[in-house]
Amino acid sequence: MDATAAIPVVVCIATSAEERSRLAAQFDGAGVLVVASDPTVAGQFLRQFRGSGGAQPAGDASVVRVGGLRLDDHEATWHGLPLPLTPHELKVLACLAERPGRIWTYQQLHDRAWDGSYFTGPAAVQSVIKRLRAKLRQAGVLVHIDAARGLGFRLVDGKDLRLIRGQ
């Protein structure tokens, strides 16, 4: 196999040790196999794996585009104009843009923006969302952050939100 070829990552969720063993035997040699007891554990591993330089999809996976919004690890732009975001605001927006329309819980947003540090409640996330909404409005960004009462937030727009990775 060419060293530059993409290595597939297979993620399986299985609650019993027997099922995890069966899956490991079935997918042996298929690439990187992640077998976890629940989705949270799998997500934590994959974030650490990605951050450690593990297998990456073809192209620059750290760049996310939603409409005219472009985010990478260091900055956000709206139709090429930079958005003045703090590191926490950038991380929260990148999380929301990763899957437009999906509701991200306070805990998930906090874990992503504060790199998994202790979650003390929704106040820190709410504060970042408030500042982020104001900055997006001021810049004329058409996508906006919608609250899902008691659950968290999602990135929404009246138009089709197309996610494009890389480029």
pLDDT single digits (tens) 128-142: 999 999 999 999 888
DSSP 124: H
Rounded to whole angstroms, the Cα distance separating 140 from 111 reads: 28
pLDDT band at 90 (very low <50, low <70, confident <90, very high): very high
- The pLDDT value given to residue 142: 84
Any idea which fold 64-165 has? Arc Repressor Mutant, subunit A (1.10.10)
- pLDDT at residue number 125: 93
Alpha-helical runs (H) found in the chain: 17-26, 39-51, 87-98, 106-113, 123-139
Model confidence at 48, pLDDT cuts 50, 70, 90, reads: low
Element (H, E) at 156: strand 152-156
**What does the domain layout of the chain look like in residue ranges?**
9-51, 64-165
Q: Is the pTM of this model over 0.85?
A: no
Picking from 27-31, 137-141, 149-153, which range would have the lowest pLDDT averaged per residue? 27-31
- pLDDT tops 90 at residue 26: no
